Structure 1
Amino acid sequence: MTDLEFMDRAEALLSALEHGCDRINDETDCDLDSQRTGGMVTIAFANGSQIIVNLQKPLHEVWLAARSGGYHYRFDGAHWRDTKSGSEFFADLARCASEQAGQPLRFAPA
């Protein structure tokens, strides 16, 4: 994957994450505060916890930091997969966000 391809795919991932936060705020009583700074999105929860998603351009990876741990994702041609477990980014994000919000939340690619 070229740097440009990585940035296009990573930008689409961050955009889908932001839209997911907006949708959750519109459809539920969960109050997520998402803020983007360059290649990083911080999601803050009502209980003070956070999830941080940031791009690691030199590695062509997306990193997710949550209460449950840190995860590194690479694009496999179809999905962003964790480099250790092979789990999919949006499934992991939904699991981590649900744990931190105390209610089921759903995220999906655009």
Structure 2
Amino acid sequence: MTDLEFLDRAEQLLLAVEQGCDRINDATDADLDSQRSGGMVSISFANGSQIIINLQKPLHEVWLAAQSGGYHYRFDGQHWMDTKGDGEFFAALSRDASAQSGQALRFTA
């Protein structure tokens, strides 16, 4: 993957996260606050916890930091997959956001 391809795919991912927060706020009372700063999106929850998603351009990775830990994802041609084999990005984001918000939340690509 070239740097330009990575940036295009990664931008799509960050946009999907932002749109997911908006959709969840419209459909639930989760009250997510998403903030974008360059290649980083932070999601704040009503309980004060956060999830941080940021781009690691030199590595062509997307990193996710949540209360459950830190995770690295690479695009495999179809999905952003954990570099240690622990699953797909949006499934992990949904799991961690649900845990931190106290209600079932679903993010999609």
Range into which the TM-score falls when normalised by the shorter chain: over 0.9
Aligned to 1:62: 62
Point out where structure 2 has 5 or more consecutive residues left out of the alignment: none
State the 4+ residue runs in structure 1 displaced beyond 2 angstroms: none
The CA deviation at 1:45 is: 0.2
The aligned counterpart of 1:37 is 37
SS state at 2:97 partner = helix
- Hey, what's the Cα distance between the residues in 1 that align with 2:46 and 2:86? 30
Aligned alpha-carbon RMSD (Å): 0.5
Partner in structure 1 of residue 27 of structure 2:
27
1:18-63 CA-to-partner distances (Å, cap 9, x unmatched) read 0000000000011000000000000000000000000000000000
3-state SS in 2 of match to 1:94: helix
- Of all paired residues, the percent bearing the same amino acid is 77
Unaligned runs of 5+ in 1: none
- Corresponding residue for 2:98? 98
Partner of 1:12 in structure 2? 12
What TM-score do you get using the length of structure 1 for normalisation?
Answer: 0.98
- The structural deviation recorded for 1:105 is 0.0
